[in-house]
Amino acid sequence: MSPEAERHEVVIVGGGPVGLCLGVLLARAGVDVVVLEARPERTQHSRAIGIHPPGLRVLAAAGVAGTLAASGVQLREGRARSQGGEVARLDFDPPVLAVPQWLTEDTLEARLTELAPGALRRGVCAVGVETRGSGAVVRALAGGAEVRFAGRWVVAADGARSPLRAALGIPVRERRYPDAYLMGDFADASGDGAAAVLHLEPAGIVESFPLPGGVRRWVVHTDVLEPDPTPQLLAGLVAERTGAVVDPESSTMLSAFTVHERLAASMLRGRVVLVGDAAHEVSPIGGQGMTLGWLDAEAFAPLIAEDLRAARQGWEPDGALAWPALWARVAEGRRRAAAEAARHAVLNMALGRPLPPALMSTRNAVFRGLYRARAVRAWTSRRFTMQS
Ligand SMILES: Cc1cc2nc3c(=O)[nH]c(=O)nc-3n(C[C@H](O)[C@H](O)[C@H](O)COP(=O)(O)OP(=O)(O)OC[C@H]3O[C@@H](n4cnc5c(N)ncnc54)[C@H](O)[C@@H]3O)c2cc1C
């Protein structure tokens, strides 16, 4: 016999940055929320580092923007270089905040615990979901035993491979790109301070970004996924292409990855909502995935809270969704924003591919000319910081 379900107004599956942020926004709105997270402990492996101004707006609503701003680096400038010369220089106003993802998640988790102690349940892995007329039930495993959580709303914030999305049979459009990257964090000896730097080199792009604590993230385009990445290999590629010195002994994180793009056909199925990477995974090159997910949370939190308020007052149109057209419009807007971010990321990846030196010089000369124009610089800055 199935165990009796624990009831909450909202059950969020996935305690990554997006699930935690949505949990905080809902808890702030007085909603009874539980967040189920499969991992017993947070991984210190850092993925996202860039928080764009619209993401900071959502984090401010969650009440954590100040804490994160105090722990991060304000990225106010971007420079593009090639073969030792400057190609372009951009100002970011307002700036992008650089913080390792684990620290962002820690901060959101602390905020959720402050607002709703016990709302985050670690070590609970969702294995299925059933939609009902007036809600949904999540089946999960915790310590080997089956547990069930019922909610008027269930939110799948369970990442790019989203087991919940698969359980609901929501189709996904998936693309793979030929690009591979090697990424690592090292002590910052670049002399570039708080600037983000793109080295557009014939052998492939090298990007570097400041992080708190005197650390710098390096990302290098590689021809194939490195099967055996080492800090020495990354430091060697950086030195070979740019002449910059990176001390492999100071490495604190290393990762090799290829690029996928996924877009779910729908973000809504009955009273289940997909948010974050579960709804749309975009290439990390461009660094907009986490902010996109927070913008989903910002869009859906008031709709969910409003529906719950109406339900608490007994307004229940036959258990069906009130204002279905509004929900559909919001979901469609979020899918369009994700598709736009994906296109932007594809351009960024194209910019970083290897090119024969003569072609690279010609292309960079064109860029140099274009970026003398203030309007082009302003347009690029707005796109880079997700403000257009
Ligand atoms: C190398 C790299 C660099 C990146 N850089 C940036 C950047 O600079 N800026 C940016 O905005 N984005 C960046 N991104 C993208 C960003 O990391 C993701 O968009 C973001 O983590 C998505 O958050 P999420 O909460 O939707 O999913 P996730 O972070 O994947 O979190 C999902 C959570 O759900 C949990 N989970 C999964 N299945 C279950 C289950 N069955 N039951 C319970 N829990 C489950 C997982 O354990 C996980 O904690 C980068 C990504 C990569 C790979």
End-to-end CA distance of the chain: 53
Phi and psi of 360, rounded to 5°?
Answer: -60, -45
pLDDT recorded at residue 133: 73
Given the CA of residue 39, which atom of ligand 1 is nearest to it?
47
Distances (CA, A) of 140 to 128, 148, 322: 7, 6, 29
pLDDT tens for each residue of 28-46:
999 999 999 999 998 877 7
Distance 247 CA to ligand 1 centre (A): 28
pLDDT tens for each residue of 64-102:
999 999 999 999 999 999 998 999 999 999 999 999 999
pLDDT tens for each residue of 96-113:
999 999 999 999 999 999
pLDDT recorded at residue 84: 87
From first to last of the 388 residues of the chain, give the pLDDT tens digit.
677 999 999 999 999 999 999 999 999 999 999 999 999 998 877 799 999 999 999 999 999 999 999 999 999 999 999 998 999 999 999 999 999 999 999 999 999 999 999 999 999 999 999 988 789 999 999 999 999 999 999 999 999 999 999 999 999 999 999 999 999 999 999 999 999 999 999 999 999 999 999 999 999 999 899 999 999 999 999 999 999 999 999 999 999 999 999 999 999 998 999 999 999 999 999 889 999 999 999 999 999 999 999 888 877 766 567 678 899 999 999 999 999 999 999 999 999 999 999 999 999 999 999 999 999 999 999 998 998 7
Round to whole Å and give the CA distance between 13 and 258. 26
Identify which of 102, 158, 164 to mutate to test ligand 1's pocket (most ligand atoms within 8 A of the CB): 158
Identify which of 21, 290, 300, 334 to mutate to test ligand 1's pocket (most ligand atoms within 8 A of the CB): 290
Round to whole Å and give the CA distance between 308 and 10. 9
pLDDT recorded at residue 199: 97
Query: Which residue is closest in CA terms to ligand 1's atom 35?
Result: 14
Kindly state the DSSP code that residue 278 receives in the 8-state scheme: G
Query: Which residue is closest in CA terms to ligand 1's atom 30?
Result: 159
Helix axes 17-28, 53-62, angle to 10 degrees: 50
Global pTM? 0.96
pLDDT recorded at residue 317: 66
pLDDT recorded at residue 320: 62
Query: Which residue is closest in CA terms to ligand 1's atom 27?
Result: 159
Round to whole Å and give the CA distance between 15 and 155. 11
Q: Within its chain, how far is the Cα of 94 from the centroid? A: 19
Fill in the amino acid letter for 207. Answer: E
Identify which of 47, 102, 208, 283 to mutate to test ligand 1's pocket (most ligand atoms within 8 A of the CB): 47
Round to whole Å and give the CA distance between 140 and 3. 11
Q: Give ligand 1 pocket residues (Cβ under 6 A).
A: 13-19, 36-39, 47-50, 101, 125-126, 157-159, 163, 183, 257, 276-278, 284, 287-291, 293
Query: Which residue is closest in CA terms to ligand 1's atom 53?
Result: 47
Q: Could you tell me the domains of the chain?
A: 6-68+100-174+261-347 (3.50.50.60)
Alpha-helical (H) ranges within 72-153 are: 101-115
Six token digits for residue 5: 């379900």
Size of the chain in residues: 388
pLDDT recorded at residue 1: 60
Round to whole Å and give the CA distance between 276 and 287. 13
